[in-house]
């Protein structure tokens, strides 16, 4: 369910708060304050209004806002007694499917963090793969309280921006999404390679790759939908696996068995979740090239 | 220790037999017969002479020649009570380092094969990786006795050719060796990429890759020695892993962390053990290409 | 000015003929016959209707239809006393800008052809570059009358299809257009190359290349419009010239002067005027690649 | 005819001078002085000795040494009344085959230069193509006398180094030669492309390319000899033209006529005459790549 910017500009305050009360965790008061400054010309302006509301309150209340966030893979999350948006975000990051050992690790990290900074660890999990999430957690444990409060608020605003962007349609969106796409060309035949099975995996830890998605190229050599789209591309190391050997078996170009090339792995990292990563494969039975395209 | 063709042509018969008696497993008589037709103008001619000697004897003796071969990873091999050349060949194929489960599997295959064909399973192991060796073994179990006798002799001659080639230097070698080499070019800088760590792995089974060798590129972007050379390139699926990210960190070309490309895996299969497989990497921080070169 | 299929289906006969009377040179009667079979569900069906009209009349009338075509670069064309569509087509092929020597050559070819076949030389000029047009002319002079009549009619139908496609919008177009496009990627920077000047030339004769169009790449590394689009891509040998040296001077990547690469020429031929020719350039200061993409 | 370093170290002075008297134009006295410091351990040391001899004499004599050089394409050169080495060098640069207009241009440049600097224009012509030679000439006319004297001496020493390197064999050569080579790979077939005709041209002026050499690739896809080797690679813009279409016609891979790729031009510039320029072509009927290799 979503809203248009126009609807939100015209809604009475209770409806406005009902719509946007969840953008900041457990803090409908942010929307309540921002409601007064309507109308907003763009979604960006609306987000700036919410941000100003947060920045306008006293230090205690700002601190409470951070404290109100649930821990990652914490008890509250496990018992699903947190905001629906948080549940969805943590599930998307696979935090609801951790092994007991991993839960234990998160519990230890959460405890240490809370003791050190008096806050729950806040991170925009939609922008991180599993390995990156743990790297960030450990890196931030080494930070100092002042820097860390700034970082935590920045992450809170990132979470809010993504939630708002998915709730509201209208002028001047917040560009909180990236894209990962591919394209397979057969330069032995001078044609797009159709029907090539492609797997996208994420390296969740040293030596462990988890399947993200599967697709098959269409008559234009592309997948019908981006491999990742409509959301940030999590910061992670990925591997695309192209079953190019099967393609050349079909076209009859791959004469010998075993073929020189069969499954082609392409490993790359994403550091900019809002970026567009186009990773094509230009192949013959005896060669291939890949690059960051556009 | 080796011999020149000239030495062998001039040697008296006992010395000739002492030199080449091991070319055919447990069959010095082959060299003894071939000695009579000396001199041989080329190593190829010498090999043809040995082959003619085998093909000149009666069926019973030819059969005995095959029967004289040791089983792969069999009891004789494990107790090292087989010909030194066989020991070396089986060790090179890793057959002296099998798990108990793998030994058991070979024992079962050997038994089945012997019952079905009345012969030990003969394969030129130097031409096969672990997975290919097992695939061949199972494929040949499905063959019929006549075809299989022909195949077994062909493999015996391949073994003999490699042994002879490594023993004798002279005109007209037998071309029993292949080559696997690489070359790393940095096309962002227009220079060979020096100091790039390269790993070569062999996929010994689904999901298990064993390290074959490590190397570092020199100032010409090549490795000082071929990754595999002076022997057949075992039939297998390989993976080269290039630490190209470290290279661009050194040259300062790879600005962001994590870099788009860090470890580049190149997976390919070798089907022609006597072929030359040159697999270069032409890379920038944002692209790479590989192909079967020369 | 154009028409929708619906309008043509509902128009009274005189208006229908007024709209489509020029699709076949000097032969409004074709439209008149086809009018009777309306309504047509698709543009393809409409074209089939016109074609059927032609194929339904007697040999004499069909012959007259061919005879009614103007010669290429003939006196009628020079004095512009031919159908507007023909004038536009011949001008698009540059036939109104020939040297006296070229006119003389066409005059000779036209005369020879008319004497040999009793017809004007009919060719769908929009599908041919200058060199291809002359090659076809000479090739067809060597043909026999029966084959040539078939060829001439086929070309007449091609001309008609293009004229109809540009006149009528509606379901099931005739696909009479091709496309030539490009894309420049900078794989030293991992970004599209913006602001690259691109020239497209056509090799009109051995050693003579005529400029077709100029463009500059946008922020996505593409040109705002296809280099050739909305029409057939004339059969010809082309050369794209990319001023890539200037790009790397701007980005600071091209350190030395003279740069290794400055103007990159890419020469290729088009044989399928209705095809899509995407010819990208993937470049660094020290390397580039091009291919037929999609 | 050449000498070994040992021979020169042992020769008596007149023979030493006879051997090296021509290294500096019309100045055997340089060798005469250098003779006293023998023996020289390396060719580099010998060159340093000659250089020291020049730098050891008074300003007048050093000036006379420069004045002793012939003008480029000047009357003395045209009447071949200059040192044999100079004749060969100027001919190699094509200065004996200029049009009258070009001679006139050189005459004007020579006159202006002599009036401005009181010296003949001295340039190591073996390191420059025609266009680069004229660019340098014009650039240096804009220089000031002191800078120009230094530049002229530097060029004189370059000329001397090349002459010495070609005369003397021994330890520690002067590295006065570069190399231009190519390699053609067919990645549709995974093999070197054999029998490909290659032309190397030099762009001598805007729109005028002069043939430098022709070659055909061998079974390894290389030319039997470097396209340019054993001498500096003249500073110039070059164009390689590969008849790759004929290759794919022979292999049957290039199905359609006209083929997408027929003659592939690769245009690049050389700025470092002593460098190694390896410019391969990695091609299929529908794609190709080139880069500065090694």
- pLDDT tens sequence across A115-151: 999 999 999 999 999 999 999 999 999 999 999 999 9
Mean pLDDT across A212-236 = 97
Mean pLDDT across A53-59 = 96
Q: Is the CB of residue C205 less than 8 Å away from at least one CB of chain B? A: no
Could you tell me how many CB contacts below 8 A there are between chain A and chain C?
Answer: 29
Q: Is the pLDDT of residue D79 over 90?
A: no
Q: Is the pLDDT of residue B19 over 90?
A: yes
The C-alpha of B283 sits at a distance from chain C's nearest C-alpha, in angstroms, of: 9
Neighbour-count burial of C144, counting CB atoms closer than 10 A to its CB (0-12 exposed, 13-18 middle, 19+ buried): exposed
Q: Which residue of D has its CA nearest to B292?
A: D190
**Backbone phi, psi, residue B142, to 5°:** -85, 0
Rg of the Cα atoms in chain B: 23
Chain C residues touching D243 at Cβ < 8 A: none
The C-alpha of D105 sits at a distance from chain C's nearest C-alpha, in angstroms, of: 24
- pLDDT tens sequence across B72-92: 888 888 788 888 888 888 887
Nearest beta carbon to residue B185 from set D187, D192, D293? D293
**Tell me, what DSSP letter sits at residue C26?**
T
pLDDT band at A1 (very low <50, low <70, confident <90, very high): low
Q: Is the CB of residue C219 less than 8 Å away from at least one CB of chain D? A: no
Q: Is the CB of residue A272 less than 8 Å away from at least one CB of chain C? A: no
Nearest beta carbon to residue D187 from set A189, A190, A286? A286
**How many of the other CB atoms lie within 10 Å of CB of A14?**
11
Written as one string, the DSSP assignment of B153-204 is HHHHHHHHHHHHHHHEESSS-----EEEE-BEEETTTTEE-TT-EEEEEEEE
Q: Is the CB of residue A190 less than 8 Å away from at least one CB of chain C? A: yes
pLDDT band at B254 (very low <50, low <70, confident <90, very high): low
- Judge: D256–C271 Cβ closer than 8 Å, yes or no: yes
Q: Is the pLDDT of residue A254 over 80?
A: no
Number of residues that make up chain A: 294
Q: Which residue of A has its CA nearest to B284?
A: A291
Q: Is the pLDDT of residue B8 over 90?
A: yes
- pLDDT tens sequence across C171-201: 888 999 999 999 999 999 999 999 999 999 9
Mean pLDDT across A264-290 = 97
Question: Tokens 């004599």 label which residue?
Answer: D61
pLDDT of res. A34? 97
Rounded distance between C-alpha atoms, residue C54 and residue C72, angstroms: 23
Q: Which two tokens stand for residue D16?
A: 């030493």
Rounded distance between C-alpha atoms, residue A237 and residue A129, angstroms: 8
Could you tell me how many CB contacts below 8 A there are between chain C and chain D?
Answer: 68
For an interface test with A, give the residue of B135, B209, B253, B287 to mutate (most A CBs within 10 A): B287
Nearest partner of A284 among D285, D227, C210, judged by Cα: D285
CB D222 within 8 A of CB D196: no
Could you tell me how many CB contacts below 8 A there are between chain B and chain D?
Answer: 27
Q: Is the pLDDT of residue D59 over 80?
A: yes
Rounded distance between C-alpha atoms, residue D184 and residue D179, angstroms: 17
CA-based angle C128:C130:C131, to the nearest 5? 95
β-pair type (A168-169, A3-4): parallel
Q: Is the pLDDT of residue A62 over 90?
A: yes
Task: Identify the bridge partners of residue A235 per DSSP, sorted by sequence position.
Answer: A128
pLDDT of res. D230? 93
pLDDT band at A79 (very low <50, low <70, confident <90, very high): confident
Q: Which residue of D has its CA nearest to C255?
A: D271
Question: Tokens 């690679």 label which residue?
Answer: D233
**Backbone phi, psi, residue A4, to 5°:** -90, 155
Asked if omega into A39 is within 30° of 0 (cis), the reply is yes
pLDDT of res. B60? 95
Q: Is the CB of residue A245 less than 8 Å away from at least one CB of chain D? A: no
Q: Is the pLDDT of residue C235 over 80?
A: yes
- Judge: B294–D187 Cβ closer than 8 Å, yes or no: no
The C-alpha of B293 sits at a distance from chain D's nearest C-alpha, in angstroms, of: 7
pLDDT of res. D99? 82
Chain B residues touching C187 at Cβ < 8 A: 187-188, 284, 286-287
Q: Which residue did the predictor score with more confidence, D136 or D74? A: D136
Q: Which two tokens stand for residue B290?
A: 């590989």
- Judge: D268–C287 Cβ closer than 8 Å, yes or no: no
Average pLDDT, chain B: 93
Q: Is the pLDDT of residue D160 over 90?
A: yes
pLDDT band at D1 (very low <50, low <70, confident <90, very high): low
- pLDDT tens sequence across C6-38: 999 999 999 999 999 999 998 999 999 999 999
Q: Is the pLDDT of residue D36 over 70?
A: yes
Q: Is the CB of residue B293 less than 8 Å away from at least one CB of chain D? A: yes
Q: Is the pLDDT of residue B31 over 90?
A: yes
- pLDDT tens sequence across C104-140: 899 999 999 999 999 999 999 999 999 999 999 999 9
Cα distances (angstroms) measured from residue D294 to each of A46, A231, B194: 58, 44, 12
Nearest partner of B231 among B125, B154, B133, judged by Cα: B125
Mean pLDDT across B145-153 = 96
Rounded distance between C-alpha atoms, residue D59 and residue B242, angstroms: 58
- pLDDT tens sequence across B185-208: 999 999 999 999 999 999 998 888
Q: Which residue of A has its CA nearest to C189?
A: A292
pLDDT of res. B238? 98
pLDDT of res. D254? 65
Domains of chain A, first to last: 3-169 (1.10.3330.10), 178-289 (2.60.40.180)
Rounded distance between C-alpha atoms, residue C183 and residue D227, angstroms: 32
- pLDDT tens sequence across A160-198: 999 999 999 998 889 999 999 999 999 999 999 999 999
- Judge: D268–C261 Cβ closer than 8 Å, yes or no: yes
Three-class DSSP labels, B19-43: HHCCCCCCCHHHHHHHHCCCCCCCH
- Judge: D258–C235 Cβ closer than 8 Å, yes or no: yes
Q: Which residues of A118-130 are buried (b: 16+ CB within 10 A; e: fewer)?
A: ebbbbbbbbbbbb
pLDDT band at C254 (very low <50, low <70, confident <90, very high): low
- Judge: A284–D284 Cβ closer than 8 Å, yes or no: yes
Chain A residues touching C291 at Cβ < 8 A: 185, 187, 190, 282
Q: Which residue of A has its CA nearest to C283?
A: A291
CB B244 within 8 A of CB B268: no
- pLDDT tens sequence across D187-241: 999 999 999 999 999 999 888 899 999 999 999 999 999 999 999 999 999 999 9
Rounded distance between C-alpha atoms, residue D243 and residue C34, angstroms: 51
pLDDT band at A93 (very low <50, low <70, confident <90, very high): confident
Q: What is the pTM assigned to this prediction?
A: 0.92
Mean pLDDT across A7-28 = 95
Torsion of CA C68, C72, C77, C83, to 10 degrees: 40
Mean pLDDT across C225-247 = 97
State ipTM.
0.92
pLDDT of res. A73? 84
Q: Is the pLDDT of residue D243 over 90?
A: yes
Average pLDDT, chain D: 93
Q: Is the pLDDT of residue D97 over 90?
A: no
- Judge: B187–C286 Cβ closer than 8 Å, yes or no: yes
Chain C residues touching A192 at Cβ < 8 A: 294
Nearest beta carbon to residue A286 from set D190, D285, D287? D190
């Amino acid at each position: 369910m979503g809203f248009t910017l126009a609807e939100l500009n015209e809604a009475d305050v209770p409806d406005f708060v009902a719509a946007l009360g969840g953008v900041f965790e457990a803090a409908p008061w942010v929307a309540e304050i921002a409601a007064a400054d309507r109308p907003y010309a763009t979604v960006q302006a609306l987000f700036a209004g919410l941000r100003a509301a947060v920045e306008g309150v006293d230090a205690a209340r700002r601190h409470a806002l951070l404290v109100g966030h649930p821990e990652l893979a914490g008890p509250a999350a496990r018992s699903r007694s947190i905001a629906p948006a948080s549940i969805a975000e943590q599930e998307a990051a696979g935090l609801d499917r951790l092994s007991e050992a991993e839960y234990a690790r998160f519990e230890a990290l959460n405890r240490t963090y809370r003791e050190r900074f008096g806050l729950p660890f806040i991170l925009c999990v939609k922008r991180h793969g599993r390995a990156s999430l743990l790297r960030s957690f450990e890196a931030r444990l080494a930070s100092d309280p002042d820097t860390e409060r700034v970082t935590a608020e920045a992450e809170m605003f990132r979470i809010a921006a993504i939630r708002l962007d998915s709730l509201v349609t209208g002028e001047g969106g917040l560009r909180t999404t990236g894209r990962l796409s591919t394209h397979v060309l057969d330069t032995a035949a001078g044609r797009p390679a159709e029907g090539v099975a492609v797997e996208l995996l994420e390296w969740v830890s040293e030596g462990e790759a988890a399947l993200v998605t599967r697709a098959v190229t269409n008559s234009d050599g592309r997948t019908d939908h981006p491999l990742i789209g409509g959301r940030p591309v999590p910061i992670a190391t990925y591997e695309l696996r192209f079953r190019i050997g099967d393609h050349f078996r079909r076209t009859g170009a791959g004469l010998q068995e075993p073929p020189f090339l069969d499954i082609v792995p392409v490993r790359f990292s994403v550091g900019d979740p809002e970026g567009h990563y186009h990773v094509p494969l230009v192949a013959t039975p005896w060669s291939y090239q890949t690059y960051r395209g556009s």
